[in-house]
Amino acid sequence: MRIVKILMAALALLTTFNTRASDKKVVIVTGSASGIGKATCERLLKEGYIVYGGDIELEKNQYLDKTGGHSLILDVTKDDQVKAAVDRVIKEQGKIDILFNNAGFGVMGTNEETTMEDAQKVMDVNFYGYVRMIKAVLPQMRAQKSGRIINTTSMGGKIYFPLAGIYHASKHALEGWLDVLRLEVKEFGIKVVIIEPGFINTNFYNVSGDYGKKYGANTAYGHIFEPIAKAPLPKMSEPDVIAKVVAKAITKRNPKTRYVKGKSAKMLIWMRNTLGDKMYDRIVMSQLK
């Protein structure tokens, strides 16, 4: 009799443990190896979420497996990798509560000089990459009648600077697509959130700058390129500033449709919305003299 009681107690404990584990929210984060993605994964792991982080930088992404998370091989430009990543999460956890779309890529160059190859690469990561991920998780979220799709766009989806035309195009396109998505999935209990970061201290500017070196300096657009290339980097916020916003967007019962956060974001978006095209153009170009 005593053995039976012990077994029943053990079974009850195991059932309680499994129930608590299943109550944990399951999150997929793209672009998780560095910057905002990494900061978000680290914060959510500390807060008790089940975190799957996907990235193309496999070695850098291994920190997840060492800290209680799960690393995914994930290039958001490849349909097969997106499907495999989402299928794995559903197989292992039975649900997907949150998708945080964050993978991003930029090219610095004038519209005329940026090659079609580079332009397509930016759009494939920044726009179609988000579309791929969302289309992959939507059937599961609709079936469970709940979900949150949180997306890093950029203040660049509302404003513009020279030498970043294709980057701005990708972010403007993404903002419009996500606005429509928010309307379409509302009845399924799925919430869509946009986060528009300002200047954030990540590797993004180094990568964009590398592309800038191959465009602009020795062409007809040198008068635009050189002042920008020589200018010091602006003051930046740390990635965890955005990670905190992601955590807030997850836990709020009714999150905002948009969060603007990070150095200069609110000011620059206000300028663009308030001053009109010509005045905004004058202010931007005055900084290049």
Task: Write out the catalytic residue numbers.
Answer: 167
59: its two tokens: 């070695």
Query: Residue 7: CB partners within 8 Å, gap ≥ 6?
Result: none
Nearest-5° Cα angle at 124, 121 to 128? 170
34: its two tokens: 């560095």
Task: Indicate the residue type of 64.
Answer: L
**How far is CA 252 from its chain centroid?**
19
Residues in the chain, total: 289
Structural element, H or E, at residue 286: helix 277-286
C-alpha 187/C-alpha 204 separation (Å) is 36
Across the chain, how many H-helices and E-strands are there? 12, 7
Task: Indicate the residue type of 256.
Answer: K
Q: Is 145 helix (H, G, I), strand (E, B) or coil?
A: coil
Residue with tokens 């600077």: 161
Asked whether the beta carbons of 74 and 85 are under 8 A apart, the reply is yes
